[in-house]
Amino acid sequence: MQSKNIIIGTIGQDAHMIGQFIIWRSLKEAGFNAISLGACVGQDDFINAAIETKADAILVSSLYGMGLFDCEGLRDKCIEAGLENVLLYAGGRLTTGVMGWEEILKRYKDMGFDRVYPPGTLPPQVITDLKTDLKIAD
């Protein structure tokens, strides 16, 4: 497989690292060039890393429930930075309150995210979706 550059991190003020670490390690084992930015990563840091590495995808993790606010405008900033083709994925506990999954999914899709994952999504699903979206043959 041609190595694809994937940026991963926990957005905003979210300090939860375990989920994004598991995805990062699984991506590395699957042959991706996964670059972890760690926790509490701002939108500009994701974008700068994506530019620097010529990233194919940005994977945003959020578990503290504020992802909806932290992710707002990320696609627009990507476009402004010349990253209109970068894939945007988000996963975790992406909102607080009682919003149903279909509404969460719609909100993220409306913000320009290509894939959105609920809590408990396992790495093989993300890897399969990346291979599909990046047109990587097994």
Beta bridge partners of 80: none
- Residue 14 catalytic? yes
Per the residue annotation, which of 16, 114, 129, 133 is the catalytic one? 16
User: What letter represents residue 69's amino acid?
Assistant: F
- Residue 16 catalytic? yes
What residues contact residue 65 under an 8 Å CB cut-off, 6+ apart? 93, 94, 95, 96
CA torsion, ordered 98, 101, 105, 110, to nearest 10 deg: -40
Backbone angles phi, psi at 124, to 5 degrees: -55, -30
Beta bridge partners of 11: 41
Give the position of tokens 């620097």. Answer: 52
Residue 54 DSSP symbol: T
SS3 90: strand
What are the residue numbers of the active site? Answer: 14, 16
